[in-house]
Amino acid sequence: MASTNAAPFEGPEKKLKVTFAADAPSLRTLPRAAWDAVLGAAGASIVSAAGDARWDAYVLSESSLFVSDHSATLITCGQTRLVEAVQPLLALCPAAALSQLLYARKSEHFPAHQATRFDDDAALLERALGARVQAGRLRLGQGAHFVDLFHAAAPGVGRRPDMTLEVLMHGPDPVACAAFAREQAPAAHAHVSAVGPGFALHEHYFAPQGYSVNGLRDGAYLTLHVTPEPEGSYVSFELQGPLGGTLPVDAVRAVAQLAALFTPRSMEVLAYQPLPPEASAPTAASVARAGTPRAAAPQELGADVPGYAVVARETHVAADYQLVFTQLRPSTAP
């Protein structure tokens, strides 16, 4: 996770999450070569591996991969071509077993160095998935930092959605990022353990700089990636809870801890909650901007972060999730 002479390193990630029906063959029984092929298509490779009763977790040359029996989440940064991993990933299970797919691109700092644009990727996904899914596109956020999201769900395929929290931080404090250098390993470990107590952590320090960690606990995972580039510094955090359960840590507290630690110049919080069975179709969407008077629901993480003000909040339906997106900037009031 280091820059080259050709271009600075791109920290903001692309993310692909594919879920298959519960009666599909288990992804965890596939050989390592199958995942090497999927990752190779995207331009990434496995650095280290760990696992527990629910997850196989991999630190990658460019971020992370998490595999459960019926879902795979790939997170890649740099100049990876994550969309090219879709076809080999879908080929791992029967076509009729596809339940839902989410594909996101965070706003890049150096978009001219990317091989494709989000619209190119979304068009490719629409062609690959065809009429078997209900699909849609969203742009979350306003200004320089946003998230483009493609979402698709297959009608009539059983679903078991989970809960996911993402925190995206642009312009983090360089001093805070320095604590995640190899020579500061005990400090880095302590910081992550404070945010995710009880997680078994598997860390990797990149040369000359950059840090990734995966953590597993009680059917949940967390991952943190630190890109301390002089240009385009960036930190991301993700926490996914167990199926049918709740997040194993206080997520509101975790967001506040991350903000206090990294003091980023911009922060985006995404909270994915399972929809109730009677919820709207996957293509339905509603948006509520910051300033709209309404009571904050529990899932609206990021609504009250010390030292930060909400500049936008949106609520959408994406596949089988209610997605709450909150955009924050440092408070200007004393």
Q: Are 86 and 125 in contact (CB under 8 A)?
A: yes
Contacts of 223 (CB under 8 A, 6+ apart): 63, 64, 66, 75, 212, 213, 214, 215, 237, 238
Which tokens hold the place of 135? 């699909």
Residue with token string 């879709």: 86
State the catalytic residue, choosing from 3, 68, 77, 236: 77
Which tokens hold the place of 25? 């063959």
Query: Whose CA is closest to 270, among 255, 290, 260?
Result: 255
State the catalytic residue, choosing from 3, 64, 212, 266: 212
Query: Whose CA is closest to 160, among 285, 69, 30, 96?
Result: 69
Helices H, strands E: what count in the chain?
A: 6, 16
Which tokens hold the place of 128? 């690959």
Residue 212 annotated to the active site:
yes
Residue 225 annotated to the active site:
yes
Residue 93 annotated to the active site:
no
Residue 68 annotated to the active site:
no
Query: Whose CA is closest to 97, among 68, 132, 134?
Result: 132
Residue 13 annotated to the active site:
yes
Query: Whose CA is closest to 166, among 2, 15, 329, 5?
Result: 15
Q: Are 130 and 148 in contact (CB under 8 A)?
A: no
Spatial strand order in the sheet of 211-217 = 200-205, 211-217, 220-227, 234-240, 164-170, 266-274, 321-330, 308-318
Residue 177 annotated to the active site:
no
State the catalytic residue, choosing from 3, 13, 62, 191: 13
State the catalytic residue, choosing from 151, 170, 225, 316: 225
Continuous H helices in the chain? 32-42, 86-90, 118-129, 174-178, 185-195, 251-262
State the catalytic residue, choosing from 61, 63, 64, 99: 63
Q: Kindly report the length of the chain.
A: 334
Catalytic residues: 10, 13, 63, 77, 212, 225
